[in-house]
């Protein structure tokens, strides 16, 4: 007789032994569950405590406020009668590479992780906060543009009219530039380097991130403009094309100084526009990147009639800080206004003045 029963039979003794084993295992399971539950509560309490604290004990929140000329940025249709507006800004902090380095711009590199881009509808902007590393020296740049022209969150998106970068690495405050996609289609650019304050006292552009610091800035336009009018054009002229000798293709974001350009003989589009005369007149109005004196440029008019094209240099008198030997100097936030009679196209045109682009007469304020 087999007291344990035949193999595979579920006898009373086998059932009793199995029950005892299960009871022992259940106690073990309960003990393990209690231990795991206690550990979970411990870690959850620890996580809850961290969430209530600053995510980075080494960072400090710096309040920021931006001002600008309301009519320049938001209300004006620009002098070229297009509807440009600046309604998006990028706040880009530059961190000092070493606290022992000099305060030159070459020693400040962008901190893209702390940068902020947002759309604006009025100025001054509502205050925002920049989270910067405590105890580190910074300069903060702001770049203003149109939201349809660029998005820092997707800088290579189709339709972007410019890029932000530099020709040489590493990127520094000194070489950060704005590079339009087309040298003859220039977006409106505004920029500034912020001023730091503490306890009502100005610290200038350089500051050490710490409690009590406040930042303010005032955007200014860093592109140029050109207006060229030709009157009394004969009826046989089919069209007139305005051509530049060379064009600046990229500028420093800080001050508009050229960083890249096309030169005489370069391939590429230097045609600024082509117009059919209206009432015997053509009037070219366009934005350009500043040339300063180092990259001043000559202008040409290609006159088309039938199968013929004749090129004429736009001859203008010398004018301090505007023109030298028929080459024009374009400066940030200024437009050069030139007029001429077709009958004097071989003799010369007249500079009627340089216009500050902030002037209501050019901004078209209604």
Q: What is the pLDDT of residues 231-270, one digit of tens each?
A: 999 999 999 999 999 999 999 999 999 999 998 888 788 9
Pick the closest to residue 334 from 276, 284, 287 (CA basis): 287
Retrieve residue 351's tokens.
């500079």
Average pLDDT, the chain: 80
Q: What is the pLDDT of residues 278-287, one digit of tens each?
A: 999 999 999 9
- Kindly tell me if the per-residue pLDDT of 8 is higher than 60: no
- Check residue 182 and report its DSSP letter: B
Helices and strands (H, E) in the chain, number of each type = 3, 26
Q: What is the pLDDT of residues 41-71, one digit of tens each?
A: 433 444 433 333 344 557 788 877 766 544 4
- Kindly tell me if the per-residue pLDDT of 228 is higher than 60: yes
Query: Which range has the worst mean pLDDT, 7-16, 142-151, 290-299?
Result: 7-16
Comparing 34 with 344, which gets the higher pLDDT?
344
Comparing 134 with 83, which gets the higher pLDDT?
134
- Kindly tell me if the per-residue pLDDT of 356 is higher than 50: yes
Query: Which range has the worst mean pLDDT, 79-83, 151-155, 157-161, 234-238?
Result: 79-83
| Gap between the Cα atoms of 317 and 186, Å rounded | 27
Positive or negative: CA dihedral 331, 337, 342, 347: negative
Confidence of residue 115 (pLDDT cuts 50, 70, 90): very high
The predicted structure's pLDDT at residue 265: 80
The predicted structure's pLDDT at residue 62: 80
Cis-peptide into 235, omega within 30 deg: no
The predicted structure's pLDDT at residue 116: 93
| Gap between the Cα atoms of 42 and 30, Å rounded | 18
The predicted structure's pLDDT at residue 124: 62
Cis-peptide into 124, omega within 30 deg: yes
Q: What is the pLDDT of residues 319-333, one digit of tens each?
A: 999 999 999 999 998
Comparing 62 with 343, which gets the higher pLDDT?
343
The predicted structure's pLDDT at residue 68: 54
Say which residues have a Cβ less than 8 Å from residue 66's Cβ, sequence separation at least 6: 89, 120, 123, 124, 125, 142, 216, 217, 218, 219
Confidence of residue 154 (pLDDT cuts 50, 70, 90): very high
The predicted structure's pLDDT at residue 206: 96
The H-or-E segment that residue 244 falls in is: strand 239-244
- Kindly tell me if the per-residue pLDDT of 354 is higher than 90: no
- Kindly tell me if the per-residue pLDDT of 347 is higher than 60: yes
Confidence of residue 91 (pLDDT cuts 50, 70, 90): very high
């Amino acid at each position: 007789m087999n007291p344990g029963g035949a193999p595979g039979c579920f006898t009373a003794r086998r059932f009793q032994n199995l029950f005892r084993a299960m009871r022992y295992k259940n106690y073990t399971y309960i003990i393990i569950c209690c231990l795991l539950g206690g550990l979970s509560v411990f870690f959850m309490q620890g996580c809850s405590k961290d969430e209530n604290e600053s995510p980075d004990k080494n960072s400090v929140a710096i309040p920021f406020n931006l001002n600008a000329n309301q009519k320049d940025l938001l209300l004006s249709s620009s002098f070229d009668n297009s509807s440009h507006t600046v309604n998006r800004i990028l706040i880009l902090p530059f961190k000092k590479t070493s606290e022992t380095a000099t305060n030159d711009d070459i020693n400040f590199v962008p901190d893209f992780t702390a940068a902020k881009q947002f759309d604006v509808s009025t100025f001054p902007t509502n205050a925002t906060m920049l989270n910067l590393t405590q105890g580190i020296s910074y300069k903060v740049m702001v770049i203003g543009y149109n939201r349809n022209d660029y998005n820092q969150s997707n800088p290579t998106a189709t339709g972007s009219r410019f890029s932000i970068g530099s020709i040489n690495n590493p990127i520094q405050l000194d070489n950060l530039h704005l590079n339009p996609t087309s040298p003859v289609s220039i977006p409106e650019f505004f920029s500034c380097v912020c001023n730091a304050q503490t306890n009502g006292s100005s610290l200038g552009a350089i500051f050490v991130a710490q409690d009590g610091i406040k930042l303010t800035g005032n955007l200014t336009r860093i592109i140029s403009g050109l207006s060229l009018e030709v009157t009394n054009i004969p009826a046989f002229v089919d069209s007139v094309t305005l051509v530049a000798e060379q064009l600046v293709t990229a500028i420093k974001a800080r001050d508009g100084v050229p960083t890249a350009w096309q030169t005489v003989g370069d391939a590429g589009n230097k045609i600024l526009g082509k117009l059919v005369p209206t009432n015997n007149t053509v009037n070219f109005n366009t934005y350009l990147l500043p040339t300063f004196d180092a990259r001043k440029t000559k202008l040409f008019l290609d006159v088309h009639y039938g199968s013929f094209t004749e090129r004429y240099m736009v001859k203008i008198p010398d004018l301090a800080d505007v023109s030298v030997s028929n080459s024009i100097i374009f400066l940030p936030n200024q437009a050069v206004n030139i007029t001429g009679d077709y009958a004097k196209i071989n003799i010369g045109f007249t500079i009627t003045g340089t216009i500050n682009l902030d002037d209501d007469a050019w901004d078209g304020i209604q």
